[in-house]
Structure formats: C-alpha cells, structure tokens
C-alpha cells in the first residue's frame, strides 16, 4: 500500500510518499531545489576539454553544464559507425567553441559540479517516452514477462512516428486500450511546440521546462499501489480528483482534504527527515547502521548493537545482516544517495548466508525506481553497489555545513 501526503504553503509544494506506513521519499519544489532534470535549453559551448573528452556548455545557469562526448553524438551516427566505449571520436571532432546546441539536463547540479546534459532529447509521458532524434524502440526492464514485452514492443512499433523512437514505461504493463497511442500523440505534439519555440529563444536560454511537482507526481509516482492521497489545499485536491478520474484510477475517491498548515508534522514526515539526517540508524532488533557520505562514495557499516540473538552466532549475524539489508535499501531511497556505495556487513562464514544477504538486498532494491546495481562481495567481504544519482540528497536540501567545524562534526 502506498500513500502520498501533499503539503502546500505559500509558493512551496512538498510531497511525501509512504509505503506500508513507512516514509520512503520526500520531494519539494521551491527556489534552488526546483526540478531541473528534463528541462531543455539552448546552450553555447564555452570550453572543449580534449583531456576529459567533454565540454562545458553555458545554458544560463550559475555553473556551466558538463557534456560528455558520448552524450553529444547523434544516436544514428553512433549506430552507423558501431561505436563502443573504447572507440569514441575525439571531442574536438564533435564539438567546437561557441557552437550552439539544443540540450537537456540529465543530472542536477551537485555541490561544485554543474548539471550534466545531453543532446539526445527525451520527452516523458505517463506510459511512453518519446525520443525524437532516434528510431529506437524499447520496453522498460521492469516488465519481465516476455510475452507482455513482445506485445508492447509491437504496439510501440505501430504507433511510433517514422524517424522517431519510443520507450514503453513500466506503467504501460497490461494496458490494452488506446492510452499508449494517446500518450505518445500528446508527446509528439509537445515536441512540435518545442521545435517552434527554439528559434525565438536567445542563447543561452530555457526552451522547455519540465512539468511541476503535481504533474510529475501524476506521471511518475501514482501507480496501481497508491491507495490514498491526502492534501491540505482544496484547489489541489479537486485538481487531483479530476486528473485521477481521467486516468480511471481507483484512488479518485480517496483524495482526502485536511485543512492544516503542517500535515508533515501530523504524519511524522518532519521527524522522519530529522532521523534520516543522522549518521546512526537503529534496527528493530537492536542492531544499527552507521552511514557516512563522502564526495566520492557512501559507506555503510552494520553492527549487532544491543541484539544478542538466541540460538547461535551465525544466526545472530545472519538475522542482523538481513534486517540491515532491507533498511539500507530504504535509507538509500529516503536520503536519495547515489553513486558508489560500500557496505560493511557483519562478517559471515557460511557462503549460503552471504548469498541470502545479497538476495535480500537485491529484493529490497527492486522497489526503488532509481536504478541500483549490486556488484557482490569483494575479497575483503565488503558489498559494492551503485545507485544512479538523481537530484539533490536529503542532506543537501535540509541542512548546511557547520561554519565552526567545516562539516567534520568535531571541534
């Protein structure tokens, strides 16, 4: 069961997502933390860096955006020459200083780093993603039934405009009606409007801004598991009911209005955020995690803490590690950590115990819409995994570095 809490205050909109009564995601839209991924800009190449196979592009933000050579090549050209990651053209052959480009943000600015961009534009809808510059047809990897994948692929081929590409999203699974065609048709129309607007936008400048928090919620988060949506603004509640009615979603009659200024406090969201900003996370058994983020990676240590078990040391360790694996997947989503993640589980002697813990971690990460990849155990017994970086972390959004200790936490 999923529940969404929407709290609006003045010009700020915040959303919290609960899964089985547990806070799993927090989103907000205000000022510098407004959503940038998906925005399309006219940009100008400022610096071409042969040593990095990349360029910095001015798109009108505070910091220049980063464009890697692979993200600057037309997909059709890449297919024709059958390029591999070890055989890319030199960046100076693809990009020139002062060159003007139409680009899209794929990663938000983080810390001192500017946004990452691509010239391969994508326009996402609820059921499909339009790729106007390539003729690729794809189906979400989360749809695992081969018969359903084949059906959706054939459907995509029949509705996709010539010379364009489309990816079928997870929400399209089992959709039989005209929803896919209507969704893609709306995206093609939007792309046409964007193209018409491009010549009238100065360089650098914003051409197209991705949808706001509410529309993104309807597009990205409201799936069949969402049962209840609670909001504190009458206009928002009525708008959601109308939108859900068009989607024929069962939550249409479960949009509840509670006229309170701070729903987040009543539902424990604010307290959940405070806990997620602490390095120590207690497990129900009495064990605990210690989570530390560095610039390069995130390190997680698992400890038995107060838990002493009942039958044997092996059982105590296995129980703690499995419980920790589930909580680690939850914390990564809530804190929105990305990049390289190293986990130091309690040492396990039996190989079957190691496999069970890894399987538990993999199963817990399946719920995460952001791509996770678990690499397995190293020779030192550490678990290596990655999670795609998307947006700012909870720590960046809700805290700032201490001016006295410069972030060390020690005086």
Domain boundary among 68, 93, 118: 118
> From its phi and psi, is residue 171 left (phi > 0), alpha (psi between -120 and 50) or beta?
alpha
pLDDT of residue 216: 87
Q: Would 105 be classed as within a structural domain?
A: yes
> From its phi and psi, is residue 53 left (phi > 0), alpha (psi between -120 and 50) or beta?
left
Tokens 């360790």 identify what position? 317
Are 320 and 288 found together in one domain?
A: yes
Are 281 and 342 found together in one domain?
A: yes
Q: Would 144 be classed as within a structural domain?
A: yes
pLDDT in tens, 203-251: 999 999 988 888 888 888 888 889 999 999 999 999 999 999 988 888 8
Kindly tell me if the per-residue pLDDT of 31 is higher than 60.
no
Domain boundary among 227, 253, 270: 270
Domain boundary among 270, 299, 320: 270
pLDDT of residue 76: 53
pTM for the model stands at 0.84
Q: In this prediction, what percent of the chain has a pLDDT beyond 70?
A: 95
- The CA distance from 179 to 166, in Å, is 14
Kindly tell me if the per-residue pLDDT of 130 is higher than 70.
yes
Residues in the chain: 411
Kindly tell me if the per-residue pLDDT of 79 is higher than 80.
no
SS3 of residue 96 by DSSP: coil
Are 258 and 332 found together in one domain?
A: no
More confident residue, 82 or 21: 21
Are 287 and 367 found together in one domain?
A: yes
Q: What residues make up the domain containing 10?
A: 2-34+212-270
Are 341 and 288 found together in one domain?
A: yes
Domain count, the chain: 4
Query: For residue 12, what is the domain's CATH number?
Result: 3.30.420.40
What is the DSSP code string of 157-210? HHHSPTT-EEEE-GGGTT--SSHHHHHHHHHHHHHHHHHHHGGGS-SSEEEEPP
For range 393-400, the mean pLDDT:
88
Are 225 and 192 found together in one domain?
A: no
Q: Torsion angle, CA of 70/75/80/85, rounded to 10 degrees?
A: 30
Query: For residue 389, what is the domain's CATH number?
Result: 3.40.630
pLDDT in tens, 355-393: 999 999 999 999 898 999 999 999 899 999 999 988 788
| Contact criterion met (CB below 8 Å) for 387 and 368 | yes
Q: Would 324 be classed as within a structural domain?
A: yes
Kindly tell me if the per-residue pLDDT of 311 is higher than 80.
no
Q: How many CA atoms lie within 13 A of 209 on its CB side?
A: 8
Q: Which of 115, 112, 92, 113 is nearest to 103 (CA)?
A: 115
Weakest mean pLDDT among 27-31, 92-96, 259-263, 360-364 = 27-31
Q: Phi/psi of residue 81, each to 5°?
A: -90, 0
Are 292 and 379 found together in one domain?
A: yes
Are 108 and 171 found together in one domain?
A: no
For range 20-31, the mean pLDDT:
84
Q: Would 96 be classed as within a structural domain?
A: yes
pLDDT in tens, 315-345: 889 999 999 999 999 999 999 999 999 999 9
Average pLDDT, the chain: 89
Q: Would 409 be classed as within a structural domain?
A: no
pLDDT in tens, 141-178: 889 899 999 999 999 999 999 999 999 999 999 888 78
Q: Would 402 be classed as within a structural domain?
A: no
Q: Phi/psi of residue 371, each to 5°?
A: -65, 125
Q: How many CA atoms lie within 13 A of 165 on its CB side?
A: 15
Query: For residue 91, what is the domain's CATH number?
Result: 2.40.50.140
| Contact criterion met (CB below 8 Å) for 134 and 75 | yes
């Amino acid at each position: 069961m999923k529940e969404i809490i929407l709290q609006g205050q003045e010009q700020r909109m915040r959303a919290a997502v609960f899964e089985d009564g547990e806070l799993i995601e927090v989103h907000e839209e205000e000022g510098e933390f407004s959503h940038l991924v998906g925005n399309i800009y006219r940009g100008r190449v400022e610096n071409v860096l042969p040593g990095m196979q990349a360029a910095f592009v001015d798109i009108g933000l505070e910091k220049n955006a980063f464009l890697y050579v692979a993200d600057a090549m037309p997909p059709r050209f890449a297919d024709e020459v059958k390029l591999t990651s070890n055989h890319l053209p030199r960046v100076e052959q693809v990009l020139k200083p002062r060159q003007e480009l139409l680009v899209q943000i794929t990663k938000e600015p983080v810390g001192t780093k500017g946004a990452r961009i691509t010239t391969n534009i994508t326009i996402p809808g609820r059921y499909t993603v339009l790729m106007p510059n390539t003729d690729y047809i794809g189906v979400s990897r989360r749809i695992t039934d081969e018969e359903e994948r084949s059906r959706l692929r054939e459907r995509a081929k029949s509705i996709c405009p010539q010379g364009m590409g489309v990816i079928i999203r997870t929400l399209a699974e089992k959709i039989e009606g005209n929803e896919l065609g209507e969704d893609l048709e709306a995206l093609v129309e939007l792309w046409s409007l964007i193209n018409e607007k491009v010549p009238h936008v100065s360089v650098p400048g914003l051409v197209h801004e991705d949808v706001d928090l509410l529309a993104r919620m309807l597009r990205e988060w409201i799936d069949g598991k969402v049962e209840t949506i609670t909001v504190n603004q009458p206009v928002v509640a009525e708008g959601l009911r109308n939108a859900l009615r068009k989607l024929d979603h069962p939550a249409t009659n479960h949009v509840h209005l509670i006229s309170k200024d701070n729903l987040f406090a009543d539902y424990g969201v604010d307290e959940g955020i405070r806990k997620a900003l602490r390095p120590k996370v207690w497990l129900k058994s009495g064990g605990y995690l210690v989570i530390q983020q560095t610039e390069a990676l995130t390190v997680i240590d698992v400890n038995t803490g107060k838990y002493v078990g009942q039958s044997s040391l092996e059982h105590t360790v296995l129980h703690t590690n499995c419980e920790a694996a589930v909580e680690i997947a939850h914390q990564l989503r809530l804190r929105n950590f990305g990049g390289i993640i190293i986990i130091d589980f309690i040492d396990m002697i039996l190989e079957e115990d190691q496999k069970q813990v890894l399987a538990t971690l993999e199963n817990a990460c399946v719920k995460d819409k952001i791509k996770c990849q678990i690499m397995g155990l190293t020779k030192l017994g550490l678990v290596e995994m990655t999670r795609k970086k998307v947006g700012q972390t909870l720590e960046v959004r809700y805290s700032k570095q201490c001016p006295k200790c410069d972030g060390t936490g020690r005086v």
